[in-house]
Amino acid sequence: MTPPSPEKLNEMIPHARLLREHYLADPHRPGYHFLVPEGCHGPVDPNATVFWNGRYHFCYIYQHEGAHYWGHASSLDLLHWRHHAPALAPGEGDEGIFSGGVFVDGDKVVVSYWRLGKPDGIAIATSSDPNLDHWTRHPSSPVIVSEGGFGWTRRPAPDGAGMVPVGSAAPSAIWRKDGRYYMLTGNLPVLQEFGRQQNLPEHQGDTLYLFVSDDLATWTYLHKFYESRREWTRETEDDMCPDFFPLPSSPDGGPDSGKHMILFISHNMGCQYYIGEYANDRFAPESHGRMTWVDNEFFAPESVVDPAGRRIMWTWVFDRRSGEERAHAGWSGEMSLPRLLWLGPDNTLRMRPVPELERLRYNGRTLTGLTVPADGQLALPIRGDSLELSLELHPGRATQCGLKVRQSPDGREETVITYDAAEGALKINTQKSCLNLSYKMIESAPLSLAPGEPLLLRVFLDKSFVEVFANDRQAVVRRIYPSLPDSQGLSLFAHGGPASVPTLDAWDMMPSNPY
């Protein structure tokens, strides 16, 4: 990069100050959720997150001059991020950098990614740089060639006649087993062309394609990695941005649980996962779950394993403002909070926010012995738009109970977090979150409490984010854009009977983004 002239530099410096002041004055710009620093972008899928040389490295897609790049940031604590030059940019045959994964292979880091070029396909790049600032594309890239996201292979025996399409898009991280390299590729292009347009049942629904290599240069297609089932997913759903890994047995990492997880998206229904058995180069799903239910707002998952064996994930969370509103703000491209994943003793997924977030807490206050009247609400002496709340809620005879946040004094604006005992669901209702944003709905995640079990909520408010974790078993996330400056209130509510809250802790949250 050629350094600017002193004259040009003197023009840039006040512009940087003005941009910072513009961002700091924005009432919706998150303070501690990761934001893409390059401005207003989409898609901004997180990619290639790796722990290397003592710190976390995080890549993400952004756009510049009509092409897709991989941005790059690093952190010691998952909270404060140093921004690097792009990890991958168009050049050397790549015309655009799309989704992919990463793994550590001895003394180097290897990324696999979907590239646009001549030809298109799956490409590989490596780095041994201490800061991962310098990457070398594999001379054989693309190592898997495609046209429009898929290639062709001969039908397996005993048929053996004709050719079948095989996806070569959005690759997983590579992994190594018994001295060989393995990689998964997504199926959206195959689903679109053959499952949807040609209505061929064998290419409908989600699946992944397994490739193997001995040298990272020559890859051979083996077979479909798993078969999807319609009681779990729809025939219109794909599997893209796959992340395949062994699940740890505790939030602190430690030994693997013996089960593997595929974390992925379908483009129409967002982030979801399978848990099952991995053996004989095949995956057998035993259970399926979602992380978004009414739409695809929680999107493009990415995870990393740290030296303790903790499995930490993020997603891109959609910005539902209009294109004009995003352009006026000058920023768009935000990630969920990092959350821990592990397998519970009942073989179901557990999740909670990383404990590092506790370092952002200040001005703590505690309320005890709260009683919420039946069919009423209890205003709390706490206000704010950048908070963490931790509460123990006993539903008692209440059929619905929960917490209202970002509430205006006149009740015109509020976001409602509900435990619905009758439906067995954790909900976020954004129908009154904003007076002027048209995209409003009720997100509803399955959650059933055992008799006498309290609802244990962790609620994170971050300007335009509401992120809720419940009992280490469920989480819901929504974006909100309150339009009234006094939409800062909180209250508890109950319907069908009274509820009680023995303890409620609240903290202000220190912003960790630069501005």
Q: Do residues 194 and 324 share a domain?
A: yes
Angle subtended at Cα 348 by Cα 356 and Cα 462, rounded to the nearest 5 degrees: 35
Range of the domain at 215: 44-353
Residues 123 and 258 occupy one common structural domain? yes
C-alpha to C-alpha distance for 512 and 31, rounded to whole angstroms: 6
Per residue in 122-168, pLDDT (tens digit) is 999 999 999 999 999 999 999 999 888 888 886 665 555 578 899 99
* pLDDT tens string 398-410: 999 999 999 999 9
Do 330 and 384 share a structural domain? no
CATH code of 157's domain: 2.115.10.20
Extract the tokens encoding 336.
């969920």
Q: Could you tell me if residue 406 is inside a domain?
A: yes
In this structure, which amino acid lies at residue 398? A
**HEC assignment per residue over 299-366:** EEEEEEECCCCCEEEEEEECCCCCHHHHHHHCCECEECCCEEEEECCCCCEEEEECHHHHHHEEEEEE
The beta-strand segments (E) located in 357-464 are 361-372, 376-383, 386-394, 400-407, 415-420, 425-429, 442-446, 455-462
Q: Which of 327, 353, 379 is the last residue of a domain?
A: 353
Residue 31, in any domain of the structure: no
Predicted pLDDT at 153: 81
Place of tokens 């977090």: 417
pTM, 2 dp? 0.96
Whose structure tokens read 């129409």? Answer: 268
> How much is the pLDDT for 415?
98
Distance (Å, whole) CA 237 – CA 190: 12
Question: CA angle 68-71-76, nearest 5°?
Answer: 160
Domain boundary among 319, 353, 387: 353
Q: Is 342 in the same domain as 407?
A: no
| End residue of a domain, out of 317, 334, 353 | 353
SS3 helix, strand, coil % of the chain, rounded to 5? 10, 50, 40
Instruction: Answer yes or no: do 419 and 303 share one domain.
Output: no
- Please tell me whether residues 298 and 184 are part of one structural domain: yes
**393 lies in the same domain as 324:** no
Check residue 162 and give its pLDDT. Answer: 72
Is residue 227 domain-resident?
Answer: yes
Let me know if residue 27 belongs to a domain: no
Amino acid at residue number 203:
H
In this prediction, residue 1 carries a pLDDT of 67
Residues 403 and 333 placed together within one structural domain of the fold: no
> Is 7 strand, coil or helix?
helix
- Whether the link from the prior residue into 43 is cis, omega within 30° of 0, is yes
In a shared domain, residues 115 and 247: yes
CA geometry: angle 236, 240, 246, nearest 5 deg = 120
Q: How far, in Å, CA of 134 to CA of 126, rounded?
A: 9
Give Cβ neighbours of residue 296 (< 8 Å, ≥ 6 apart).
265, 266, 267, 268, 269, 270, 318
Are 407 and 289 contained in the same domain? no
Question: CATH number for the domain including 468?
Answer: 2.60.120.560
Mean pLDDT (10-residue bins), the chain, 515 residues: 87 92 97 95 96 98 96 98 97 95 97 94 97 96 91 66 87 97 97 95 96 97 97 98 98 96 98 98 98 97 97 97 94 98 97 98 98 97 98 97 98 97 97 90 97 97 98 98 97 98 98 94
d(CA 194, CA 201): 9
In a domain, 11, yes or no: no
C-alpha distances in angstroms, 274 versus 188, 265, 296? 18, 11, 17
Residue 336 lies inside a defined structural domain of this protein: yes
Question: Which strands sit side by side in the sheet containing 240-250, from one edge to the other?
Answer: 240-250, 253-266, 270-279, 282-290
CA distance 70 to 61: 5
**Measuring CA to CA, which residue among 429, 437, 470, 243 is closest to residue 326?**
437
pLDDT of residue 437: 81
In this structure, are 165 and 72 located in the same domain?
A: yes
Distance CA 70, CA 59 (A): 6
Residue 23 falls inside a structural domain: no
289 in any annotated domain: yes
Contacts of the segment 373-378: beta carbons below 8 A, 24+ positions apart: 373/494, 373/498, 374/398, 374/494, 374/495, 374/496, 374/497, 374/498, 375/494, 375/495, 375/496, 376/493, 376/494, 377/404, 377/491, 377/492, 377/493, 377/494, 378/491, 378/492, 378/493
Q: Give the three-state DSSP class for 157.
A: coil
Report how many domains make up the chain. Answer: 2
Same domain for 495 and 477: yes
